[in-house]
C-alpha cells in the first residue's frame, strides 16, 4: 500500500491529461487528492466571506422573472444540465448538495456527479435511464451488494440480468444490453477485478463500477475506463454512520439523464445530508489511510490464527476484511464487545456482520454460496480505534466460538 501524496498527484495528473477532468477550479493549478478533499466544492467560499459552507434548506426559490425560469426549465428538459442562474425548486437541484457533487466528481476524476437519497436510489436511477432507452438487459458479475443483486434478479425495475464471470462479459452482450455492472473489491468477499480489462470487454456498453469499498482514495475506476462510478455514500464518503446517500460520478451527458430521472422520480438527497457528506469528504483520505493500516495489521493476525480458515484482504488495501472461521460465526457476532455487531460499513468505528444472515440474506442461498459467500464468512469494517484494542476484542470473540458443536447448528440452518 502506498498512500504517498506524490502517487496521488501523479494519478490526478493522468486524469487531467485524459480530458482535463481532474483540473482544479479555473485559475488554480492541479491539486493532489488530499487537497481536493478539503477544498473541492468550496472554492467560492472565501470570496463570499464564508468559511464553513452554508446549508440551503429552501424547497423553492422566489423569482420575479418567470420568462427566465421558463427558459431554465426548457434547458433542463432538453439535456438535464444543471440550470444556470438561481435555483428553481428543490427537486431540480440544491446548492448545498451541488457542492458535494462537485467535490466527489473532482475526487473521482469525472466531469460530473449526481447525488441521490441512497446508494440504491442511485443504482435505480442508472437502470431507469437505460430502461427508458429500451436497453433493459444488464450483464453483471457476482458477488454484488445483496440488494443490488436482488434489484436485478427480481427484475423490480424491468431489467433482465445475465450473471457472468469477467471472462464471459463480451459473449453475454446483446443489442439491448444497457449496462455492465461490477464491484471491486466486491461486497462481501472483497474479490478484486481487473477493471481496465473489463472496461475493454464492454465495448461501447457503459461499465458501472461500484467503488463503495475502495473509495477514490484507493481506486478511481473512471481512469480505468468505467463510464459510471457508483457509491453508497452512506459508507466511507459520509464516514460516521449518520447519513444515508448515494452518488454516481460520470460524464456530463449521462449526468444530465440522471438529473432528469432524479427530478421525475424524486430520489433527491436532503441538503443536510449534502452538508455532512461534503464535511465527510474532507477527512476521507486521512480516515481511509488510518483505517487501512489497522485493517492490514488485523488481516495479518487473522491469517496467522488457527481459529481462522481463510482471510480475504484486497491487494489494493483498504479497511474491509472478510474471513472464514472454523467455528460458529454467530458466536463471534454475539461475542464482540468493542466492535459493533451491525450491518453497513465505512464508519469511524469498527463493525462486524455475518453476510449470509444479513447483508446478503436476500440473495438466493445457492447463488450466494456459488459466488463465494460461505456460511462461515464474516465481514469486518475496520475503524479508527487502537489496533491492540480491536485485536483483544476479536481474539476474545473468536475464543468463544467453539469448533465442533457449531457444525451441527450450521448444518441444521441449511
Ligand atoms: C451499502 C451498499 C450499497 C447500497 O447503498 P445504500 O446507501 O445502503 O442504499 C450499494 N453498493 C454497495 C457496495 C454497498 O455496500
Please choose, from the candidates 348, 336, 334, 371, the residue with its C-alpha nearest in 3D space to the C-alpha of residue 189: 371
Q: In what order do the strands lie in the sheet with 320-325?
A: 308-312, 320-325, 377-381, 351-353, 340-341
| Per-residue cell: 289 | 489511510
Q: Is the CB of 278 under 6 A from ligand 1?
A: no
Please indicate whether residue 22, judged by its CB atom, sits closer than 6 Å to ligand 1.
no
Q: What is the pLDDT of residue 23?
A: 38
300 catalytic residue (yes or no) = no
d(CA 262, CA 210): 19
- The domains of the chain are located at 7-58+94-282, 285-413
Q: Which residue has the least CA distance to atom 12 on ligand 1?
A: 145
How confident is the model at residue 67, as a pLDDT? Answer: 95
- The per-residue pLDDT for 147 is 97
The number of the ligand 1 atom at minimal distance from the alpha carbon of 123 is 10
- One CATH from 3.40.640.10, 3.40.50.620, 3.40.50.2300, 3.20.20.60 for 7-58+94-282: 3.40.640.10
pTM over cut 0.85: yes
In short, whether 159's Cβ falls inside 6 Å of ligand 1 is no
pLDDT at 178: 98
Which of 143, 144, 187 is the best mutation target for the ligand 1 pocket, counting ligand atoms within 8 Å of the beta carbon and taking the most? 187
- Residues of the chain predicted below pLDDT 70: 1-29, 400-414
Using the mean position of ligand 1's atoms as its centre, give its distance from the Cα of residue 248 in Å: 12
Q: What CA–CA distance (Å, rounded) separates 287 from 241?
A: 13
91 noted as active-site residue: yes
Joined together, the cell numbers standing for residue 259 give 438529473
148 lines ligand 1 (CB under 6 A): yes
Ligand 1 pocket test: which of 115, 117, 119 has the largest number of ligand atoms within 8 Å of its C-beta? Answer: 119
The residue from 149, 210, 328, 393 that is catalytic is: 210
> Which of 117, 212, 241, 361, when mutated, tests ligand 1's pocket best, judged by the most ligand atoms within 8 Å of its CB?
212
CA distance 214 to 258: 23
Ligand 1 pocket: which of 234, 237, 371 to mutate (most atoms within 8 A of CB): 234
- Tell the residue nearest (CA) to atom 8 of ligand 1: 119
User: Residue 89 and residue 93: Cα distance in Å, rounded?
Assistant: 7
The predicted pLDDT at position 30 comes to: 79
In the residue annotation, 145 being an active-site residue is answered as yes
* Residue 149 DSSP class: H
Q: Output phi, psi for 308, to 5 deg.
A: -105, 125
Secondary structure class of 385 (helix, strand, coil) = coil
Give tens-digit pLDDT for 197-254. Answer: 999 999 999 999 999 999 999 999 999 999 999 999 999 999 999 999 999 999 999 9
112 secondary structure, DSSP code? E
Q: Is the CB of 108 under 6 A from ligand 1?
A: no
3-state SS, residue 44: coil
Q: How far is the CA of 401 from the centre of ligand 1 (A)?
A: 29
Proportion of the chain in helix, strand, coil states, percent, rounded to 5:
45, 15, 45
Contacts of 225 (CB under 8 A, 6+ apart): 195, 196, 198, 199, 200, 202, 207
- From 409, 406, 356, 407, select the one nearest 378 (Cα to Cα): 356
Which grid coordinates belong to 194? 481487473
Q: What is the C-alpha to C-alpha distance for residues 216 and 233, in angstroms, rounded to an integer?
A: 12
- Which fold is adopted by the domain 285-413? 3.90.1150
Kindly report the protein residue whose alpha carbon is nearest to atom 5 of ligand 1: 119
Q: Could you tell me the three cell numbers for 339?
A: 466492535
Instruction: Tell me the residue ranges of DSSP E strands in 233-373.
Output: 246-250, 308-312, 320-325, 340-341, 351-353
Pocket of ligand 1 contains residue 246 by CB under 6 Å: yes
CA proximity to 203, closest of 222, 184, 177: 177
pLDDT at 12: 39
Each residue's pLDDT tens digit, 382-402: 999 999 999 999 999 999 555
235 neighbors 209 (Cβ within 8 angstroms): no
Give the integer Cα–Cα distance in Å for 186 and 202. 19
> Which of helix, strand or coil describes residue 91?
coil
Residue nearest to atom 6 of ligand 1 (CA): 119
Amino acid at each position: 500500500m502506498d498512500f504517498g501524496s506524490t502517487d496521488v498527484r501523479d494519478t490526478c495528473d493522468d486524469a487531467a491529461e485524459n480530458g482535463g477532468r481532474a483540473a482544479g477550479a479555473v485559475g488554480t493549478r492541479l491539486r493532489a487528492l488530499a487537497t481536493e478533499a478539503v477544498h473541492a466544492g468550496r472554492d467560492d467560499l472565501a470570496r463570499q466571506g464564508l468559511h464553513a459552507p452554508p446549508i440551503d434548506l429552501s424547497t423553492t426559490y422566489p423569482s420575479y422573472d418567470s420568462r427566465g425560469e421558463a427558459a431554465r426549465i426548457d434547458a433542463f428538459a432538453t439535456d438535464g444540465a444543471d440550470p444556470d442562474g438561481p435555483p428553481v425548486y428543490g427537486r431540480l437541484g440544491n446548492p448545498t448538495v451541488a457542492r458535494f457533487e462537485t467535490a466527489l466528481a473532482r475526487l473521482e476524476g469525472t466531469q460530473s456527479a449526481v447525488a441521490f437519497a441512497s446508494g440504491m436510489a442511485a443504482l435505480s436511477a442508472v437502470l431507469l435511464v437505460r430502461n427508458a432507452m429500451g436497453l433493459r438487459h444488464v450483464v453483471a458479475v457476482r458477488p454484488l451488494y445483496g440488494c443490488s443483486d436482488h434489484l436485478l434478479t427480481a427484475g423490480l425495475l424491468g431489467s433482465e440480468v445475465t450473471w457472468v464471470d469477467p471472462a464471459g462479459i463480451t459473449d453475454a452482450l446483446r443489442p439491448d444490453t444497457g449496462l455492465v455492472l461490477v464491484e471491486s473489491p466486491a461486497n462481501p468477499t472483497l474479490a478484486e477485478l481487473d477493471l481496465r480489462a473489463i472496461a475493454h470487454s464492454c465495448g461501447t456498453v457503459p461499465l458501472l463500477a461500484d467503488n463503495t469499498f475502495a473509495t477514490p482514495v484507493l481506486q478511481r475506476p473512471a481512469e480505468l475506463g468505467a463510464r459510471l462510478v457508483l457509491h453508497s455514500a452512506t459508507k466511507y464518503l459520509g464516514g460516521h454512520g449518520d447519513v444515508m446517500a448515494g452518488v454516481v460520478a460520470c460524464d456530463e451527458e449521462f449526468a444530465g439523464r440522471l438529473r432528469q430521472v432524479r427530478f421525475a422520480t424524486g430520489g433527491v438527497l436532503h441538503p443536510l445530508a449534502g452538508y455532512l457528506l461534503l464535511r465527510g469528504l474532507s477527512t476521507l483520505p486521512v480516515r481511509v489511510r488510518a483505517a487501512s493500516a489497522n485493517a492490514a495489521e488485523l488481516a495479518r493476525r487473522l491469517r496467522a490464527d488457527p481459529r481462522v480458515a481463510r482471510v480475504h484482504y484486497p491487494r489494493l488495501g483498504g479497511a474491509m476484511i472478510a474471513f472464514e472461521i472454523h467455528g460458529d460465526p454467530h458466536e463471534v457476532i454475539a461475542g464482540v464487545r468493542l466492535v459493533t455487531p451491525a450491518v453497513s460499513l465505512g464508519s469511524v468505528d469498527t463493525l462486524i456482520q455475518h453476510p449470509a444472515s444479513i447483508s446478503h440474506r436476500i440473495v438466493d442461498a445457492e447463488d450466494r454460496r456459488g459466488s463465494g459467500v460461505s456460511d462461515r464468512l464474516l465481514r469486518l469494517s475496520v475503524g479508527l480505534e487502537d489496533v491492540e484494542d480491536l485485536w483483544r476484542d476479536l481474539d476474545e470473540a473468536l475464543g468463544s466460538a467453539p469448533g465442533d458443536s457449531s457444525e451441527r447448528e450450521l448444518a441444521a440452518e441449511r
